[in-house]
Amino acid sequence: MQSNGEPTVTSEIKFQGKILNLRVDTVRMPNGLIATREIAEHSESICAVPIDEQGNVLMVRQYRKPAETELLEIVAGGIEAGEDPKEAAIRELREEIGHTAGKLEFLSSFWLAPGWCTEYMYAYLATDLSQSKLSADDDESISVVTVPLSTIPSLIQSGEIRDVKSIAALLLAMRK
């Protein structure tokens, strides 16, 4: 179902950063009118729902500057150049919660904010966990929180879990 409903007339990078670029595209709409689109270019990413043998989800709590608050989230991170999404998921599990997964099952993939961002995310269910720690990223301050899987729906409903990747992947994992 690919289409180019808005061919690009011009494209200009306005900012180049460490994790994203900002560009403005001038496009021709299907009705012939010219419009602009502000787009954040972001690499692909992964998220993982790690569930231990007791039926707990190992989540992370970290401060998110854009939201100006701490969020309770699942493991997530960017895919490095040349890295397979599954390899990225294992690396992020090791960096963020200090575990690896004996079994990594693909759940789904999705656009995070297709109205303005190119980021595409792959979601996995991680089970058969064992300790295997990698050094955390220097610019992250993360604490691991163990959450019973049975409490996830109420934590989503109450707003304790409120980022879209975590909600989507947790709900997908609960169907397994």
CA dihedral 112, 117, 122, 125 (to 10 degrees): -30
Superfamily of domain 45-174: Nucleoside Triphosphate Pyrophosphohydrolase (3.90.79.10)
- Residue 1's pLDDT band (cuts 50, 70, 90): low
Domain boundaries for CATH 3.90.79.10 within the chain = 45-174
* Catalytic status, residue 140: yes
Q: What is the mean pLDDT of residues 89-101?
A: 96
| C-alpha–C-alpha distance, residues 76 and 74, integer Å | 6
pLDDT(134) > 80: no
- The catalytic residue among 12, 70, 80, 140 is 140
pLDDT(173) > 60: yes
- List residues bridging with 27 in a β-sheet: 8, 35
Tell which residue, 75, 82, 83, 118, has the closest CA to residue 100.
75
Q: Is the full-model pTM beyond 0.85?
A: yes
Return the ∠ at Cα 95 (arms to 66 and 175), rounded to 5°.
80
> pLDDT value at position 137?
66
| C-alpha–C-alpha distance, residues 50 and 171, integer Å | 13
Chain mean pLDDT for the chain: 95
